[in-house]
Each structure stands twice: as C-alpha cells, then as structure tokens.
Amino acid sequence: MNVTRKHDNFFKTTFEKPAHAAELLRIAAKHNDGLAEFLAAVNLDTLQPMPGEATREGLSGATDLAFRVNLKGSACSAELHVGVVLEHKSYKDTSVLQQLMHYYFEVILQKAGNIPTVAIVVYNGNDKWNPLQDPNYNRPYPEYPDYFNRVGYPFVCEFIDVGTEIEAADFMTADPQLVLALVAMRYAFQPSERSRFLEALRAFKKLGRKGALDFIKEVYVYLKKVIPLEDKEKFMDTEEAYANKGYKSIYDAELEEARAEGRAKGLAEGLAEGRAEGRAEGRAKGLAEGRAEGREECEKLAAELAVQAAEIRKLKALLAQKS
C-alpha cells in the first residue's frame, strides 16, 4: 500500500466524524489565533459533512474531508453557512494550495454555492513545514506576473502541525479516541511518542466502547511497521475475550490483510502464468494447425499435379499416334 495513502486513509477514518473534526479544531485553536477567530464566528455543533469528490482534466480525486458549518449569531432569518476543508499531508507538498483551490471550485462552490470557506492543512510528518510561511504563499498563480496574483485565494487558509502544535496538556480533556488517533499520528514519525501512545491506547480500551477494538485494529494496521512486536502482544485481548465481544483480533486483521495481499499477488501471478501458458498453447495449436493445413495443401497440390501429369501423358500418346 502507498505510505501516503495509508496516512490519508487513517486521517479520514478518524476525522470524518464531525464531532472528532470539531474537537481537533478546538484543540488546535488554543495555539492558533486564526483558528480561534474562526471558531468564535461559527457554531461547531452544526458541523456537517459534504461529499468531497472533485474531477477536472489534469486534476482528479477527493478532498480529504469537506464540511459545512453554520455561522454563529446570524441576524438573517436563514442560516448562513461556511465551508470547511480539511486537507491532510504527511509530507511537504508545494502544490497543496493549488489543490485547495481546485477543491474549493469543484466541491464547495459547485455543491454549496458561493459561501466563505476556510481551508485547513493538517500536517504530520518528519520535516518542519508550514506552507503559509512559504515565500510563494501569496502567489496562487505562480507562473503569472505579480499583478495577477493580487487576486489572492478564494478562501482563508489555516495550518495545523499535529507533531508540534498540539501539546500534552491538550490531551487531558479531549475524547480518548481522538487522543489515541492524534498520538498515533505523531508516533508514526516520532518514536519518542511510544510511551504516550501506549498510555493513550490503555485509556481508550478501558472505556469498553462499542466498536472500540475495531478502531484499535485500524490503529495497529496503520502503525504495524512502527509498533514493536512485544507491544502488539501486550495489548491484544485473548482469543476468548474477542470471541465473547465479537471483535476481530489485531492478528486477525493483519492475517486478513496478508491474505488479501497474497490473493492479489497470486491473482497477478496466475494471470501472468495464464497468459504465458495461453501464448504457449496458442503457439503449439497454431503450429499444429499450420502443419495440418500445410499437409492438406501439399496433398491438394500433389493431387492436382497427378491430374496434370495424367493429362500430359494422354496428350503425348495422342501426338505419338498422329505422327
């Protein structure tokens, strides 16, 4: 599986729930004045997901997450909405703002209308990075002269660095599942987060929530190349416990994934072998058919030559009689 895609999938699984996305924004706003100003203007309890598919020639795919939220204290009879896009990155991506422009036009503008939008880049990765501090940040059309870049972006952009901007104190009052997800995202790039990850995992399991072990399975699959074997074994429930609760074990999850990968690999190899065998069979069949057709043609030719030879002999006999 593509490593970047694995990070994106885990991010979507965690934050597609409006309550988790809202809590992430509340935590990040403690360290981000721009986000704090944004949250002061909207009612996060009204956060609702929007379909995020976007297609255009040369650019296609899906936003990580798109939401719509109501403006707080609107004086209008109708609710005023604000668009919110959460775009996850696990590496430096110099084209992220151009991607966000694409998503704005294809998702927000097309499906929610001309509403003010906040695009938020959520980053967890090895390198220190903030696209809003890039010298070309205010150049939405970098290939054009400065004059044309005065137009700016059609949205407000904010940035959250999960690895540096969210502090340990933020985890004290946050939902345990959100804490586990955020710590797992940090642990993916920072081995020093191991003890905090194990603590968050322990606290989340204690809750005994429905579906809790399914989420833990996703965390383990996400981090399976990072978590030492002894940690996996230490935090797995017994086979009996899983049977009683109806959950799948982490072992089962990895086994299923390995089987799926094995089936995919086997299918690819089988198709390749099948094609090779088919080509070989085709060659053999073609050769056999060619030989048969060749023999048939030779037999026909021989028969025709025999007829011609007989006619020639008759002609010679007639000529000899006349002479």
pLDDT, tens digit, 9 for 90 and up, residues 82-100:
899 999 998 888 889 988 9
Q: What is the structure's pLDDT at 119?
A: 94
Give the strands of the sheet with 81-89, arranged side by side: 42-50, 65-71, 81-89, 117-123, 156-161
Please say whether the beta carbons of 42 and 69 come within 8 A: yes
Q: Identify the sign of the CA torsion 118, 119, 124, 126.
A: negative
Bigger pLDDT: 198 vs 231: 198
pTM of this prediction?
A: 0.68
Q: What whole-number distance in Å separates Cα of residue 87 and Cα of residue 63?
A: 7
Residue ranges per domain, the chain?
Answer: 3-249, 250-323
Which pLDDT belongs to residue 139? 85
What is the mean pLDDT of the segment spanning 233-253?
52
- Ramachandran angles phi, psi of 243, nearest 5°: -65, -40
Q: What is the CA radius of gyration of the chain?
A: 34
- Return the structure tokens found at 213: 């072990």
Give the span between the Cα atoms of 254 and 233, in whole angstroms: 13
Task: Write out pLDDT tens, residues 250-283.
Answer: 556 556 666 677 677 776 676 667 667 666 766 7
The per-residue pLDDT for 241 is: 47
Here the tokens at position 20 are: 């988790």
Look at residue 113 in the predicted model and tell me its pLDDT: 85
